[in-house]
A = this chain, B = another copy of it.
Amino acid sequence: MVSFECDYIAGAHPEILKKLAETNMEPMPGYGFDRFTASAKEKIKAACKMPDAEVEFLVGGTQTNMIVISTMLKDWEGVIAADSGHVSVHESGAIEYTGHKVIELPSVEGKLTAESVKNYLRTFYSDATYEHMVIPGMVYISYPTEPGTLYSKAELKALADVCHEYDIPLFLDGARLGYGLMSDASDLTLPEIAEIVDVFYIGGTKVGALCGEAVVFTKNNKPEHFMTSQKKRGGLLAKGRLLGIQFDTLFTDELYFKISRHAIDMALKVKEVIKEKGWRVYMDSPTNQQLIIMDEEEMESLGKSVLFDRWGVYDNEHTIVRLATSWSTSEEDIEALAKA
């Protein structure tokens, strides 16, 4: 059985495990005050070419979205997101649990357009009753998006311009950031993202770590007493070293980018297999996730030797199947898929 189920089927990149083992018995203070957390922050700031950025580590994606959004929004605000966004659909209502509405706008291939956001905001403020509504206080996007598409630099800048016109931050969920940046279709670099958006995170869980996401506040806008707010939401890890060591390793010798590129290389091979098999593509993706449409029979047949994800419902008879590659996908996995 070979697995393309998701991009977190394996443990951690071997370099990470090695580093965890090497440093294991060294006593370190808790809660992120260890030397590896400090080093990882410096390396991430350097990779972003942004020495004044503020970096914080959290354990998982939903937790990160919940904590970033709820500490940056004001009481009366909500967050605009695509109706296909992770915070809109797949977080069991974690944003709402913090008391804030996700204002869902229609997505185009998983993306928000600057036009639709601008139109929403303009219409909102032209409504005399807007104080009886949820006031938009942030725009959330993901890069790559949930179906694996990418914003171009121009699209990202246009969104940021709208946000800044209305004085609200643009937040980029980078749970799979490496797989976006390393895609041939990307015209964005990490420093460019850091410069354009107001806050974003570099996903570790899906890109080589056991767990962990690195939040980057790019405009001297880290919420006050962030650590206390983190703890209040159950999101402060006692052994902060676990996150520090992992990100320190991922940002040494460009490991994060190399393993992300590997996943893209493997994805290109999956694309070839899909073409050969004649499978129907749901949405063409330049990143590490391929979405195809299958009926029950096809899924049953494929499922005999390949693990995959039932990503969504297509229609009464068809399912959207996702094949994901990652840093851990091997050539042998691709061969097995081709044979399936």
Contact = CB atoms under 8 A, between A and B. Distances in A.
A221 to B, nearest CB: 15
A9 interface: yes
Interface of A: 1-3, 5-6, 8-12, 14, 17, 20-21, 23-30, 59-64, 66-67, 70-71, 74-76, 78, 89-94, 96-102, 104, 123, 126-129, 131-135, 205-206, 210-211, 223-225, 227-229, 231-239, 241-242, 307, 310, 312-313, 328
Given A25-B328, A71-B75, 8 more contacts: A10-B26, A11-B242, A59-B211, A60-B238, A63-B234, A96-B96, A96-B101, A126-B313
A239 to B, nearest CB: 5
Copy number in the complex reads: 4
Given A11-B24, A97-B99, A234 B60 contact: yes
17 contacts: A2-B27, A9-B27, A9-B29, A9-B30, A10-B24, A10-B27, A59-B59, A70-B75, A76-B92, A76-B229, A76-B232, A92-B229, A96-B96, A97-B233, A126-B313, A131-B228, A211-B238
A340 to B, nearest CB: 15
- Chain A contact residues: helix, strand, loop or mixed: loop
A66 B25 contact: no
Contacts of A75: 70-71, 223, 225, 229, 232
A238 B30 contact: no
